[in-house]
Amino acid sequence: MPNSLTMLLVALLALGTPPRPAAAQEPAVPRPDTLGAAFDDHAPGIGSPGDFDFLVGQWTYRYQLRNPATGAWGSVQEGNWVATRRPDAAFVEDEFTGRRGAILTFRSFNSERRLWEIQGVRLERGVWQPGVSWSDGENRYLVQDDPDRKIRIRIRYYAITPDRFLWRADGTNDGGKTWLRDIMLIEARRR
């Protein structure tokens, strides 16, 4: 997934303590609460072949990272996100670009498992990051592992409309016993 997220997770997890809330500071990228992605990463749901149809197209996004030591939100960064779908299969490829480089994600619907199988790769590192994704009809949930850095990320796409969606990510390095919430927030708008 977005590599600035992975780099932040390494820093966050090395500290070994969850971030403290920032006093009266709210992020510029919207979020409805402070619960993080808030789902069980060990209990995948069921997906459908159309789960990522909303993502197809060109997007601009704003994102923010959170400082683990202070809980303060970093400055808003911007980037582009482009997704395409194969016409003959439930397969979506997207490229996420920003100040820190590019990440490609390949999403293929596994009809036997009724899940999306995900492979992400940051072009500068070349390490594959496997994952799975599903939906509840309203939100999309994604769990992805970075085996190189021994980090698990849980991501929720939500508030999805034809022209906008929100995205939030939590991270863990202990198999999901503890999570660092909302380590990255994204607001995407269709171009």
CATH superfamily ID and name for 3-190 = Calycin beta-barrel core domain (2.40.128.20)
pLDDT digits (tens, 9 = 90+) for 160-185: 999 999 999 998 888 888 888 998 99
Beta-sheet pairing, 151-161 with 115-122? unpaired
Q: Which residues have a Cβ under 8 Å from the Cβ of 61 and sit 6 or more positions away?
A: 78, 79, 80, 81, 98, 186, 187, 188, 189
The predicted structure's pLDDT at residue 69:
65
Domain boundaries, the chain: 3-190
What's the pTM?
0.84
Cα torsion 163, 123, 46, 85: sign: positive
What rounded mean pLDDT belongs to the chain? 87
Say how far apart CA 155 and CA 171 lie, in whole Å: 9
